[in-house]
Amino acid sequence: MSAVKDLVTIKGVKDGLIFILDEHCDYEDLIRELEYKLENSHQRLLSGAEIKVHIRTSNRIMSDKDKERICGIIGRSGNLIVASIDNEPVRKRKSGLKVHTGVVRSGQILEHDGDMMLLGDLNPGGIIRTSGSLFVMGALRGMAHAGKDGDTMAVIAASYMRPTQLRIADVVSRPPDEWDISDAQMEFAYLVDGVMKIDRISQFCHVRPDLFSS
């Protein structure tokens, strides 16, 4: 059994305990192991003074009910108090790229949940919003917003980058105050620590090596 990875890892820190819950396994398996550990192998935890517990669930997608159930199991034991539960899964990227052809003109809005490729121009006054990344195989002269639901890893690439405004997640940037644009090169915009940067497309693999690897 030692080869099997623990689904529930309990670590002691200065102000209490951290429960690290596996993010990939079946939810019921997780609950079973949590109950088992609390009731059998780690029973010594249950006696003694009050201990604060921080729960880390990483990227598991959980409903409020799921979270309550875990808090309930831990709280059942009396002296364990759930101080925090962090669960902010990174939105799962939708697989596949939506391809749109045509010019997005002034006053037109294109929205998509996922990644999008535009075969055409985005004109001044036109808007494209995607929850994922945006690739414009033409001139980007309008307003592009990638990662509209808060995905800071999203990028905006364009063959001809002359935007009115770029937004990634909550960061708004407009040229040329914040970055320079070069001529005749395909470029992409991305976020580093909340600041928008622009680079040549050839740098993509260094900046976002994992964006499209599953």
Partner 1 sequence: MTVGEAIVVTSGKGGVGKTTTSANVGTALALLGKKVCMVDTDIGLRNLDVVMGLENRIIYDLVDVAEGNCRLAQALIKDKRFDHLYLLPAAQTRDKDAVSPEKLKEMVDELKRDFDYVIIDCPAGIEQGFRNAVAGADQAIVVTTPENSAVRDADRIIGLLEKSDLRQPKLVINRIRPHMVKSGNMLDIDEICSILSIDLLGIVPDDENIIKGANSGEPTVMNPDTPASIAYRNIARRILGDTVPLMVLEDKPGLFKKIRKWFGLGK
**Integer CA distances (angstroms), 71 to 85, 108, 139, 147, in order:** 8, 47, 51, 32
- With helix as H, strand as E and coil as C, how does 104-156 read? ECCCCEEEECCEEEEECCECCCCEEEECCCEEEEEEECCEEEECCCCCCCCCE
124 vs 194, which CB is nearer to partner 1?
124
8 vs 158, which CB is nearer to partner 1?
158
Edge-to-edge strand ranges of the sheet holding 8-13: 8-13, 16-21, 51-56, 80-86
Least separation, in Å, of the C-beta of 164 and partner 1? 10
Least separation, in Å, of the C-beta of 145 and partner 1? 19
104 vs 189, which CB is nearer to partner 1?
104
16 vs 120, which CB is nearer to partner 1?
120
Least separation, in Å, of the C-beta of 185 and partner 1? 18
96 vs 107, which CB is nearer to partner 1?
107
**Residue 148's CB: how many other CB atoms inside 10 A?**
20
Contact 201, 189 (CB under 8 A): no
Footprint of partner 1 on this chain (CB under 8 A)? 103, 105-108, 121, 123-126, 139, 141
Least separation, in Å, of the C-beta of 193 and partner 1? 35
Report the amino acid identity of residue 104. V
